[in-house]
Amino acid sequence: MTALKMIGIGLAAVLLGSTAVSAKTLVFCAEGSPENFTPALNTTGTSLDAARPVFDQLVEFERGSTTLKPGLAESWIISPDGKTVTFKLRQNVKFGATREFKPTRDFNADDVLFSFHRQSDEQNPYFKVSGGKYDYYNDMDMPKLLTSIAKTDDHTIVMTLSEPNVAILANLAMDFATIQSAEYADYLLKKGKPEQFDQVPVGTGPFVFASYQKDAVIRFKANPAYWGGKPAIDDLVYAITPDPTARVSKLKTGECQVAPFPRPADIPELQNDPNLNVLSQPGLNIGYLAFNAAKPPFDKKEVRQALSMAIDRKAIITQVYGQSGQMAKNLIPPTMWAFNDKVTDYPFDPAKAQALLKDAGVSGPLDIDLWYMPVQRPYNPDAKRMAEMMQSDLAKVGVNAKLVTYEWGEYRKRLQNGEATAALFGWTGDNGDPDNFFFFLGCIDGKPAASNVGKWCDPTFNANLAKARQANDQAERTRLYGEMQVIEHDQEPVLNIAHSLVYEPVRKEVVDFKMSPLSRQQFDGVDLK
Amino acid sequence: MIRFFLSRLALTIPTFVALTFLTFVAIRLVPGDPVEVRVGEHGISPERLAMFRHQLGLDQPVWRQFTDYGWGLLHGDFGTSLSTSGKVLTEFLTLFPATVELSACAMLFAIVLGIPMGVFAAVKRGTWADQALMGLSVTGYSMPIFWWGLLLIMLVAEQWHLTPVSGRIDLIRFDYDTPTGFMLIDSLLSDEPGAFLDALHHLVLPTIVLGTIPLAVVARMTRSSMLEVLSEDYVRTARAKGLSPFRVVGVHALRNALIPVTTVIGLMIGSLLAGAVLTETIFSWPGVGHYLIEAISRRDYPALQGGIMLVSTVVILVNLLVDVAYGVVNPRIRHGR
Amino acid sequence: MAAELSARADGPAARLPAAPAPPSAFRNFWSSFGEGKGAVLGLAIVAFVALLAIFAPLVAPHSPIEQFRDAVKAPPVWQDGGSWRYVLGTDGVGRDMLSRLIYGARVSLFIGLSVMCVSFVVGVVLGLASAYFGGVVDVLITRLMDRIMSVPDLVLAILAVAVLGPSLVNTIVAVTIVYVPRYVRLVRGSALAELDKDYVMAAKVAGVGPLRLMLSTILPNCLAPLIVQAALGLSDAILEAAALGFLGLGAQPPTPEWGAMLADSREFIRSQPWIVTFPGLAILITVVSINLLGDGLRDAFDPKMRRG
């Protein structure tokens, strides 16, 4: 039998081939292929994770937290009016070399200018390369916020802002603000191959890019000249494994050492495996059910409250999230400093829900569309199952929910156009600032923003949102956000369902791997036993 | 002969034109927008959306987009992927060897096991062995392979540790260039000891999963075709002449019985590629089936269009070759029709 | 999973010399059908599944969509913690597995039969038109069918569903698009062979109109391979629909479609394997028995096999 023979040969190969490997290699089972290696162009965690080993930012997040620390900028000074930020750049920082390109100079202010100009200046030769979509730069409102960026000498950068904004440093620590090599950009431009800039990355980070085969593998080597010290592992390999079942299997057999995004159902088994450590971290996210306040009868807050009480969220969390969910009462997760613990959650009370519906003048069966997204999101591992459970709960209080879904892009578009009556949706935080959560229920000039899928506007809520953005004092901001959470709870434009707990199983031989609340994968500082 | 080949080749030209047009139109009808898909929960302002649609040429009338695309095709340009900004042809060519390697192994698996099984069943017609083999074969081609793949990973790879779970090579132990993209060939070229066996080892499970249906088909076809041949007069004559049964079956009968089997094998290429879509998804196999599925979910029009075109081209060419080969074997086809 | 289909269409079935069956053939047919034990077994199981599907409300112990929150992921009766209340256990939201499988038979058979009927009719019309009119009509139809067949079937089905949006009806449409060319080719081939025969000439000379000639003279004579193709096509349609369901492109929740049930429960393959095992087994058993039945039909229709 050929198959058996092949298996036999393979076994022999495994036994023979287990010669000692001196270099320390860490294999990470990545969940997909990156779109390219320039973080500014990308929005998916998959692509950002793939570029991260190679790059640094001016300001960086402490590994495993949202605390900021100096990166390529050694220090910074914010002017008293809050509108000017001056960065002092780190010196003697080397760029990694690739097969083709050997850098001739150290990192300096020109690299910073290039990295920002590429995203902001239409005249920059790289502006349109690789599609030129700088979504994060625009999402974070940088074009409006950043009036100018200039260098005063080779190691000093001055940024001028249009208004004081407390979140600017956190923004600059995000991946889109990655610093790339201006020299490399010029080199490729002269060779007439600018698109290669985004395919073969050159950066100052802890690792140097070695090779990439689409849908198969990305290889990195430790950067011996890294300014933060050479990483403990020598080789970093991303084995691209889209199927979650396969990822778990590979982890268990030792084909990889770190595997993200296990399915909730697999977690108990992983926890029982003596070879694994299952790390977990409260995710900076919220999964919710949005009611469209622009569509009757959801314009009445009693109806929204009634539906919130009719849904058994506890059962949903047990069955959909397993151990990886935490019931949510507020928009922001309890780990955030602005969290208002005084808010009392709605109970699960179908009888009261029915009474409320009756009081609101809803008599007889109510027909609604219940939308669920067709994809798995960090804040919602299985929207379909969640919707099926809600459908069954709502039927018990006389609400007939028809389940509706669209292709993911289409879903979002229609949702933001206000076509849904009730829809599952959610948000994942980008930088740990509460503003990054509250803004999505905001209104601009009294009209709901696109991200505000509940199409709900409240003047006090919006006034507070604007005030908190400019306030420098954290106590003041806490007060403002606390008030907003009370309003949000009373008005119930969305039913907060859960903050997911993010799990990441790693093998026991992995030392000091830290999960990030921002769902970033980071391998400098990680060692192998 | 050459005229026959050329006429068949000429017939494929309108096929290509129609194919281009049909896929092009079908893909534009798919709801969803490539720009919308990628922005996620953040959303995008109408101005920026309009700008990108303009940049990508999506605001042009469809006929205009089509003529532009056709013009590109004539120059060998299959377009640029919207999600990776890479050339579709280049991406396809880097992924295609993986699919070919897997399909070829699956086919080989099917042929090497299927033909002896079929012959055996035909010779032992009616015995329990025949019935068992044919029972297995029916089960094989009724197999929902997405389920089959999951079961095999669970049992063979994880419980019994007989094979790796997925991937093409042990990434910790081996690191070498892949100039051809065929892992079996590259591993031999790399002169890293054990790499070839390791690559082979990784191929075992996906090969079995993708090869199950072809195996069942080949076994059945061989059996029925063999039965037919065995009842022909010349076989009876050969038997009557006292030739050894082995010679009768192995040489005289098998050679003739294999003609229809060969055709079937050729025709299976297309469906093998379809099976590869599921197999590659389950085994994280970096091939074109996986690429097409990704392209659909990302609404990456050029990648999807180019991918379908290229896959179909391969199918058409293979069918053409089968057709011609059959024409060589059987002159009646060449002159008929 | 389509490999064997094209194989069969162009293989033995297509090469059948479609001998006009003698009028008293039923007994003859039945006896040769009964020769293959597999065929009888297949028939029995198909009949059983069909009965389950028809009488689902009477047979199923529970509603297929009712969620028993107190018994989510209950194991089947023979495992520790199983109970007779949920014989095959419950799924990820507490719906009774057995009931869902029984109702799922309805969905799968409905999809399969719909695809079969529509492709049969469309295939006959296009195939006969192509054979009879020849010329431009023939070229157009055959070329279009070739085009469709040159795209790998699952990719084509996915594309069709992507255009139409996922739903039960669209699954049927998508799978039909994939399978129609096979019927068209088969009908066209058989009809062309018949058109050359003397009795058709005679009928033509006798002044039989084209429509009548096609439908009452030629069609009955190509029926045997068509029936075989239809039977085997049924199983392929069920498999293809399950594959679409598996990719999330089939019937929408809470419809108990086997492929979708499998996909929804994929995550439990490690922790609660029965939730994944049963839908897969249901698909496998149904498809195997339909195939056995189809093989029996072909053997019974095929005089050569009968003789040998």
For residue C121, is pLDDT > 50?
Answer: yes
Residue B281 CA to residue A243 CA, distance in Å, equals 7
Residue C215 CA to residue C125 CA, distance in Å, equals 10
Instruction: Give residue A524's identity as a one-letter amino acid code.
Output: D
Q: Say whether C292 and B315 touch across the interface (CB within 8 A).
A: no
Instruction: Give residue A177's identity as a one-letter amino acid code.
Output: A
The Cα of B188 is separated from the nearest Cα of chain C by a number of Å equal to: 32
Which tokens is C158 given? Answer: 């996915």
- Counting DSSP H helices and E strands in chain A, the numbers are 17, 21
For residue C8, is pLDDT > 60?
Answer: no
For residue A1, is pLDDT > 50?
Answer: no
Q: Say whether B171 and A6 touch across the interface (CB within 8 A).
A: no
Domain C72-305, CATH number (from 3.10.20.30, 1.10.3720.10, 1.10.1660.10, 1.10.3130.10): 1.10.3720.10
State residue A370's pLDDT score.
92
Residue pair B121/B219 in contact (Cβ under 8 Å)? The answer is: yes
State residue B42's pLDDT score.
63
Q: Which residues are within 8 A (CB) of A331 and not within 5 positions of it... i.e. 6 or more apart?
A: A286, A288, A437, A438, A441, A485, A488, A494, A496
SS3 A445: coil
The Cα of C235 is separated from the nearest Cα of chain B by a number of Å equal to: 8
A191: which strand partners?
none
Q: Which residues are within 8 A (CB) of C40 and not within 5 positions of it... i.e. 6 or more apart?
A: C33, C34, C296
In chain B, the residue whose alpha carbon lies closest to the alpha carbon of A251 is: B165
Closest CA to A34 of A220, A258, A233: A220
pLDDT tens digits for B42-100? Answer: 666 777 777 777 777 777 787 888 888 888 888 878 888 877 778 889 888 888 999 99
In chain C, the residue whose alpha carbon lies closest to the alpha carbon of B263 is: C7
Q: Say whether B38 and A44 touch across the interface (CB within 8 A).
A: yes
Residue B91 CA to residue B302 CA, distance in Å, equals 12
Confidence of residue C15 (pLDDT cuts 50, 70, 90): very low
Residue C53 CA to residue C221 CA, distance in Å, equals 33
Question: Does B127 reach chain C within 8 Å, measured CB to CB?
Answer: no
CB-nearest to A385 from C93, C165, C166 is C93
- Residues in chain B closer than 8 A to A235 (CB atoms): 175
CB-nearest to A416 from B43, B198, B201 is B43
Confidence of residue A2 (pLDDT cuts 50, 70, 90): very low
For residue A11, is pLDDT > 60?
Answer: no
State residue B15's pLDDT score.
72
| Comparison of pLDDT for B262 and A95, the residue scoring more | A95
Instruction: Name the percent of chain C lying above pLDDT 90.
Output: 12
pLDDT tens digits for A72-113? Answer: 999 999 998 888 999 999 999 999 988 889 999 999 999 999
Extract the runs of DSSP E, i.e. beta strands, from A241-331. 276-282, 285-291, 325-327
| Comparison of pLDDT for C30 and C40, the residue scoring more | C40
Q: Which of A49-53, A249-253, B241-245, C69-73 has the lowest mean pLDDT?
A: B241-245
State residue A29's pLDDT score.
93
Q: Say whether A388 and C254 touch across the interface (CB within 8 A).
A: yes
| Comparison of pLDDT for A445 and B204, the residue scoring more | B204
pLDDT tens digits for C253-277? Answer: 678 888 888 887 877 877 788 888 8
Closest CA to A331 of A457, A431, A452, A437: A437
State residue C10's pLDDT score.
40
When mean pLDDT is compared over A503-512, B75-84, B244-253, the highest value belongs to: A503-512
Computed over every residue of chain C, the mean pLDDT equals 79
Mean pLDDT of A223-245: 90
In chain B, the residue whose alpha carbon lies closest to the alpha carbon of C240 is: B144
Q: Which of A209-223, A318-332, B295-309, C50-64 has the lowest mean pLDDT?
A: B295-309
Name residues 259-288 of chain A within 8 A of B (Cβ): none
Residue B158 CA to residue B162 CA, distance in Å, equals 8
Closest CA to B297 of A429, A213, A250, A33: A33
Mean pLDDT of B119-144: 88
Dihedral angle sign, alpha carbons of residues A406, C155, B79, B64: negative
State residue C260's pLDDT score.
84
Q: Helix A2-17 and helix B88-123: axis angle, to 10°? A: 130
Which tokens is C14 given? Answer: 């297509």
Matching residue, tokens 């066209």? C188
State residue A327's pLDDT score.
92
Residue B138 CA to residue B132 CA, distance in Å, equals 10
State residue C251's pLDDT score.
73
pLDDT tens digits for C134-174? Answer: 888 888 888 888 778 777 778 788 888 877 777 888 888 98
Q: Which residues are within 8 A (CB) of B332 and not within 5 positions of it... i.e. 6 or more apart?
A: none
Question: Does B292 reach chain C within 8 Å, measured CB to CB?
Answer: yes
Q: Say whether C162 and A407 touch across the interface (CB within 8 A).
A: yes
Q: Say whether C243 and B144 touch across the interface (CB within 8 A).
A: yes
State residue B40's pLDDT score.
59
State residue B41's pLDDT score.
64
| Sequence spans of domains, chain C | 72-305
CB-nearest to B200 from A10, A426, A440 is A10
Q: Which of A331-335, A388-392, B43-47, C66-70 has the lowest mean pLDDT?
A: B43-47
Q: Helix C3-10 and helix C168-195: axis angle, to 10°? A: 20
State residue C228's pLDDT score.
79
Q: Which of A283-292, A467-476, B131-140 has the lowest mean pLDDT?
A: A467-476
Question: Does C304 reach chain B within 8 Å, measured CB to CB?
Answer: yes
Q: Say whether B275 and C163 touch across the interface (CB within 8 A).
A: no
Chains that touch A (3 or more CB pairs under 8 A): B, C
SS3 A72: coil
State residue C6's pLDDT score.
38
State residue B38's pLDDT score.
60
For residue A234, is pLDDT > 90?
Answer: yes
The Cα of B251 is separated from the nearest Cα of chain A by a number of Å equal to: 23
Question: Does B326 reach chain C within 8 Å, measured CB to CB?
Answer: no
For residue A527, is pLDDT > 70?
Answer: yes
Which tokens is A305 given? Answer: 């409250």
Q: Write the burial class of residue B249 (CB in 10 Å: 0-12 exposed, 13-18 middle, 19+ buried).
A: buried
pLDDT tens digits for B180-200? Answer: 888 888 888 887 778 888 889
Query: Which of A5, A9, A14, A175 best probes binding to B when mutated, by most B CB atoms within 10 angstroms?
Result: A14
pLDDT tens digits for C212-225? Answer: 777 777 787 778 77
Extract the runs of DSSP E, i.e. beta strands, from A79-175. 84-89, 146-153, 156-161
Quote the ipTM score: 0.77
For residue A20, is pLDDT > 50?
Answer: no
pLDDT tens digits for A133-142? Answer: 888 888 778 8
Name residues 79-98 of chain B within 8 A of C (Cβ): none
Confidence of residue C25 (pLDDT cuts 50, 70, 90): low
For residue B239, is pLDDT > 80?
Answer: no
State residue C302's pLDDT score.
65
Segment (H or E) for A176: none
- What global pTM score does this model have? 0.80
Mean pLDDT of A56-65: 91
| Comparison of pLDDT for B35 and B214, the residue scoring more | B214
State residue B195's pLDDT score.
85
Q: Say whether A248 and C270 touch across the interface (CB within 8 A).
A: yes
Q: Which of A290-294, B299-303, C135-139 has the lowest mean pLDDT?
A: B299-303
Chains that touch C (3 or more CB pairs under 8 A): A, B
